[in-house]
Structure 1
């Protein structure tokens, strides 16, 4: 059976924040486009499971109003609101031998903020302003072929996905360069130095796992603790108070410090984390009303085999091989890892999308 074919001005590949912001800007410009997302949901690494109206951020958690003008502007444009990260009180520290002590805290500088209703509110706000028929879920892209006046994108190389083809004057890759280089067949081949640069570009959070526990009470606050914690033995390496603006429900959230290749199944990890929280914050910390765990290294539309080693220090992200486009300005790079500034952050996702849309003319 022949593949279904469709033509538009622009094809956006990737439905994370960068791809959605690109679609939002093209909608305002009244441009013809489609957004192709491999997952059955939009948001990419923004993932915020709901618990009784509260949203637990298992991907990006903060933005910094003093340093993120684009995020600030988008929050206002979408009529959203944020609140400062709770950091009042002392911090807990766990040495390599498991010994714990209470130390002064390390407040973020500049202060970090969380969003009411979680970071997913950015995703929902953008989607509400993009025509619904322009976003195609369950559309994994496997091939991009350069044409004389644009490119042809093939979707659905997996057996369970119906195949279709789309043609456009421009294609915007709004996904991590490493993921694009490892999962999409480009015809003709991209330049060798560009492909290698894409494969070398780390994907922020791709090797990480996050945990979120919710409570009816915050006993750690009553003990003079901020909820902040650091551990050299794990399983969590970094912990923060994840409570809502109005406090209830209260939360503890953190990043797993164990490398992806050494992590066990989710239930084993959750039990180990709860034991660690009890040691750091008291026995009630092991009795949350709900827990959430996300291992991003197990997400095929986020991580590749090269991402199994967690990038603990924030890499310096730049456009791959210094290029923001290729194929004679047909193929454009977006996505936070290609940003000229704030790469890997929400701000970088927005700035790379702005750059890609501007390059379309």
Structure 2
């Protein structure tokens, strides 16, 4: 079996990995991106409906507190727009009763990206060599060698499909996922492995929906599209419409724990019934409906991500290490950022740190 060689291997084709590839392109460093999925983007997932892209992963950014992302959007020639928040909100009590409440405007203001967050990935990819991105390449083994690392692609306990030799390896994926799915030789220390496993993967236990309609009937009722529920199955709902035009949509998060979300058709029925109860009967008849359960994604979530995450963790490099094996392996991915971990901003921060170390 032949072994391919490059200066740097980037494991993971989400925002952190693709941005790292863009930075290495500027430095004229040879690289290959290994993405386990059949698509790039990682947790950025944007199905298209009538020319509009729904965000089933990260949806919002805050320019006033995410300066790197705001600057990157401007540099790439992309545009953002304010999240629609005009009007009253809805609140569903545990007994199912629905109340109209005062609307809640986010502070600082939240923005969404024209073209969906996938526009970030698509535009960055135009700046790098597309032949350097290899899809359907799950990394199963990383071995330390004298010249750097030998990386195997395939499945554990089976012969590798292909191998790569590189001076550096950027792990642009959640530390918990790396610790649970990649065999390291020599073994990582117990303390480092435990630290990686304890870093919860943001959104890994979440499920999200987007429903689209021909008319924004909730706006016509004086509602913002915001709703919160103690009953479920949805716990949080927002307006998910296009910027100033159709298609019009509602989007939000399922509040049922991941271990109980095992019957998607029945869950979809329950979601539509709840939307109708909160916003009226038209909400039960969307022209398009998208649903994504990230806890069922093997290249995002592990068994450790099944319990619900009730607050945003304080992210940092695992065990305080941004690199191991004398700088051969560099941690990236938003969960390893010292600032804004879990957000898209954190993905950029971690990618810059790794690229600067090469």
What is the TM-score with the length of structure 2 in the denominator? 0.98
1:287 corresponding residue in structure 2: 285
Distance 2:272 2:150 in 1: 49
Matched, 1:313 2:341: no
Q: How far is the alpha carbon of 1:247 from its aligned partner? A: 2.5
Whether the 8 Å CA contact 2:50–2:247 is kept in 1: the answer is no
Distance 1:139 1:176 in 2: 17
Distance 2:2 2:231 in 1: 53
Match of 2:110 among 89, 109, 112: 112
Matched, 1:257 2:255: yes
Distance 1:190 1:76 in 2: 40
2:35 corresponding residue in structure 1: 37
Distance 2:54 2:117 in 1: 9
Distance 1:122 1:232 in 2: 34
Distance 2:143 2:218 in 1: 56
Q: How far is the alpha carbon of 1:314 from its aligned partner? A: 1.1
Q: How far is the alpha carbon of 1:121 from its aligned partner? A: 0.3
2:225 corresponding residue in structure 1: 227
2:165 corresponding residue in structure 1: 167
Q: How far is the alpha carbon of 1:100 from its aligned partner? A: 1.0
1:103 corresponding residue in structure 2: 101
Whether the 8 Å CA contact 1:139–1:161 is kept in 2: the answer is no
Secondary structure at the counterpart of residue 268 of structure 1: helix
1:144 corresponding residue in structure 2: 142
What is the TM-score with the length of structure 1 in the denominator? 0.97
Matched, 1:351 2:349: yes
Whether the 8 Å CA contact 1:205–1:310 is kept in 2: the answer is no
Please identify, of 263-272 and 351-360, the stretch whose mean Cα deviation from structure 2 is larger. 263-272
**1:319–1:312 Cα change, 3 Å:** same
Whether the 8 Å CA contact 1:7–1:167 is kept in 2: the answer is yes
How many residues are paired up? 358
Residue ranges of structure 2 left out of the alignment (5+ in a row): none
Please identify, of 126-135 and 347-356, the stretch whose mean Cα deviation from structure 2 is larger. 126-135
Distance 1:162 1:325 in 2: 25
Secondary structure at the counterpart of residue 278 of structure 2: helix
Q: How far is the alpha carbon of 1:76 from its aligned partner? A: 1.2
Distance 1:232 1:345 in 2: 26
Q: How far is the alpha carbon of 1:264 from its aligned partner? A: 3.3
Match of 1:337 among 321, 331, 335: 335
| Aligned ranges 1:177-216 → 2 under 5 Å | 177-216=175-214
Q: CA RMSD in A?
A: 1.3
Distance 1:293 1:160 in 2: 34
Match of 1:243 among 238, 241, 244: 241
Q: How far is the alpha carbon of 1:186 from its aligned partner? A: 0.2
Whether the 8 Å CA contact 1:4–1:163 is kept in 2: the answer is no
Q: How far is the alpha carbon of 1:166 from its aligned partner? A: 0.4
Match of 1:218 among 216, 234, 246: 216
**1:81–1:159 Cα change, 3 Å:** farther
Match of 1:56 among 50, 54, 57: 54
| Aligned ranges 1:63-78 → 2 under 5 Å | 63-78=61-76
Residue ranges of structure 1 left out of the alignment (5+ in a row): none
Secondary structure at the counterpart of residue 138 of structure 1: coil
Q: How far is the alpha carbon of 1:162 from its aligned partner? A: 6.7
1:81 corresponding residue in structure 2: 79
Q: How far is the alpha carbon of 1:157 from its aligned partner? A: 2.2
Deviations 1:277-301 (A, max 9, x none): 0000010011110000000000000
Segments ≥4 residues shifted beyond 6 Å:
158-162
Matched, 1:296 2:294: yes
1:92 corresponding residue in structure 2: 90
Deviations 1:302-345 (A, max 9, x none): 00000011213111111111110011111100000000000000
Distance 1:64 1:311 in 2: 22
Match of 1:325 among 323, 326, 331: 323
Q: How far is the alpha carbon of 1:130 from its aligned partner? A: 1.1
Q: How far is the alpha carbon of 1:129 from its aligned partner? A: 1.1
Distance 1:293 1:49 in 2: 10
